[in-house]
Structure 1
Amino acid sequence: MDIDSKIAVVTGASRGLGAALSSSLVAKGATVYGLSRNRANLADRRAKLGENFVPVSLDITDQTAVHSWVSETFSNLRSPDILINNAGTGHFGKIDELSLEQWHGMLNTNLNGLFYVTSQIVPFMKRKKDTCHIVNLGSILGKTGRAEGAAYCLTKYGVQGFSEALFRELRSEKIKVSCVNPGSIATHFFRDSGIEPHGNMIQPKNLADLIVQILETPDNLLIDEITIRPLIPKPLG
């Protein structure tokens, strides 16, 4: 895919990997609709990236709001070529200490939000003549487990299964589906989950640039799944 002049939707776009993805796509000439609940961070992204970044204040766990935004924004004449389902949340702790709010938050964002956005955008992609691409951000914890991560692992195993089934469903429609499974990324995600990020984690810009390379692969070449790890996962020093 030649990304220049393409339309991309990126969820969780206001910071971390989503912000890096938005920057990389805009640098390639794409128009990026960046979705997030954080209006202030979206405004900062707009100020830095210019008019090719369109800030969208939206809670992807609100199915009605997602449906309304997609139907009001896109048409058969202007619709997304790229969807990057990046938004995610995680909490780590003993299963008998995990709150219902944390449990439902992960399920609603990591799985329900993924479905709400994808199911609304796919019909537009099906009607396009050119190849489209959906990238779902999974996790290495969607391929293995870790103590005190049962709930988060559940959602990321779900992303893995969703992605594999979806690529088989949509490949005949010229819609690629790729599941990207990174290890630890140096973003707010880990700090929000009680884990301090460090310099040996995957850097957001490096991962964003790799995902752009996946998008740029020839139309009849599909990378359906890729796992990325930091070479040395321990903190510096």
Structure 2
Amino acid sequence: MNIQDKIAIVTGASSGLGRAFSTSLVEKGALVYGLARTEKALQELKQELGENFIPVVLDISEEKKVEEWVSDTFSKKNIPQVLVNNAGLGSFNKIEETSCNEWSGMINANLNGMFLITTNIVKLMKTTSEVKHIVNIGSVLGKVGRPESAAYCTTKFGVQGFSAALLKELRVDHIKVTCLNPGSIATDFFKTSGIESHQHMLQPKDLADTLIHILETPDNMLIDEITVRPLNPKKPD
């Protein structure tokens, strides 16, 4: 895919990995709709990236609001070619200390939200024969378990299954599906579990470059899954 002039949607765009994805896509010439719940952070990113970044304050776990935004924004003449399902929550506790609110919040953001935005966008993507691409951001914790991470691991194992099934369903409609599984990333995402970011972790810019590589593959070539880990994840002495 040639990213220039394509329409892209990035969920969880206001910080961390989503912010890096949005930046790289705009730099490649895409028009990016950046979705998040925090208006201030989105507006700050808009000031950095300019007119090719459109901030959208939206909770993707709210069914009616997602449906309304998609129908108000897009049409058969204005179809997104790229969807990056990046939004997610993480809370890391022992299972008996995990509240129902924490569990439900992760299920809603990491799975239900991904489903809601995807099902609405796919309806539009199917109306054209050009190649489109959905990239779901999974995690190494969707492949292996981790203590005090049962809820988060459950959602990311779900992302794996969602991606694998979606790929087989949508490939005949010229829609690629990729599951990108990063290891530890130098953001504040794991702060609640006592893990501070450091320079040995994966850098958001490097993962954004990986996303661009995946999107720019030839139309008849699909990277269905990729796992990216830091070479040496230990904190420097």
TM-score normalised over the length of structure 2: 0.99
The offset of 1:197, in angstroms, is 1.0
Indicate yes or no: 2:171 matched with 1:179.
no
Whether the aligned pair in 2 keeps the contact of 1:3 and 1:28 (CA below 8 Å) is: yes
Q: Which runs of 5+ in 2 are unaligned?
A: none
Q: How many Å separate the matches in 1 of 2:91 and 2:39?
A: 23
Q: Is the Cα contact below 8 Å between 2:142 and 2:158 reproduced in 1?
A: yes
Q: What is the rounded CA distance, in whole Å, between the counterparts of 1:66 and 1:193 in structure 2?
A: 31
* Partner in structure 2 of residue 147 of structure 1: 147
The alpha-carbon deviation at position 93 of structure 1 amounts to 1.1
Tell me how many residue pairs correspond in the alignment: 237
The one-letter code of the counterpart of 1:70 is V
Displacement of 1:76 = 0.5
CA, structure 1 residues 193+10, in 2 after alignment: closer, same or farther (shift >3 Å)? farther
Q: Which amino acid counterpart does residue 235 of structure 1 have in structure 2? A: K
- Tell me, in whole angstroms, the C-alpha distance in 2 between the residues paired with 1:188 and 1:41: 15
Matches of 2:179 and 2:167, distance apart in 1: 9
Letter in 1 for 2:6: K
Q: Provide, for residues 107-133 of structure 1, a one-character-per-residue CA deviation record: whole Å limited to 9, x for no partner.
A: 000000000000000011111221000
The 5-angstrom pairing of residues 159-198 of structure 1 reads 159-198=159-198
Deviations, residues 142-198 of structure 1 (Å, cap 9, x unaligned)? 000011111111000000000000000000000000000000011121224442111
Letter in 1 for 2:174: K
Q: Which residue of 1 aligns with 2:104?
A: 104
Q: What secondary structure sits across from 1:43 in the alignment?
A: helix
Instruction: Give identity over the alignment, percent.
Output: 60
Q: How does 1:37-52 map to 2 (within 5 A)?
A: 37-52=37-52
Segment of structure 1 superposing worse, 146-155 or 189-198:
189-198
Worse-matched range after superposition: 146-155 or 160-169 = 146-155
Amino acid in structure 2 at the alignment position of 1:52 = N
Aligned to 2:228: 228
User: 2:199 aligns to what?
Assistant: 199
Pair 1:10 & 2:5 matched: no
Partner in structure 1 of residue 128 of structure 2: 128
- State whether residues 92 and 192 of structure 2, in contact with CA within 8 Å, keep that contact through their aligned partners in structure 1: no
What is the rounded CA distance, in whole Å, between the counterparts of 2:193 and 2:56 in structure 1?
A: 25
State how far apart, in whole Å, the 2-side matches of 1:55 and 1:145 are: 35
Check the 8 A contact 1:142/1:157 in 2, yes or no. Answer: yes
Q: Which residue of 2 aligns with 1:212?
A: 212
- Unmatched runs of 5 consecutive residues or more in structure 1: none
Residue of structure 2 in register with 1:56 after alignment: 56
Deviation per residue, 1:80-136 (Å, 9 max, x gap): 000000001111111001011110110000000000000000011111221000000
AA paired with 2:171? R
State the SS of the aligned residue for 2:109: helix
Whether contact under 8 Å (1:90, 1:193) holds in the other structure is no
Equivalent pair of 2:129/2:173 in contact (CA under 8 Å):
no
Q: Specify the SS of the correspondent of 2:177.
A: strand
For residues 22-50 of structure 1, the C-alpha deviation after alignment (integer angstroms, 9 at most, x for no partner) is: 00000000000000000000000100000
Instruction: Note the alpha carbon deviations across 1:186-220, whole angstroms, 9 max, x for none.
Output: 11212244421111110000001111110000000
For 2:26 and 2:169, locate their aligned partners in 1 and report how far apart those are by CA, in whole Å: 29
1:126 and 1:97, CA in 2 relative to 1: closer, same or farther beyond 3 A?
Answer: same
Equivalent residues of 1:8, 1:81 under 8 A apart: yes
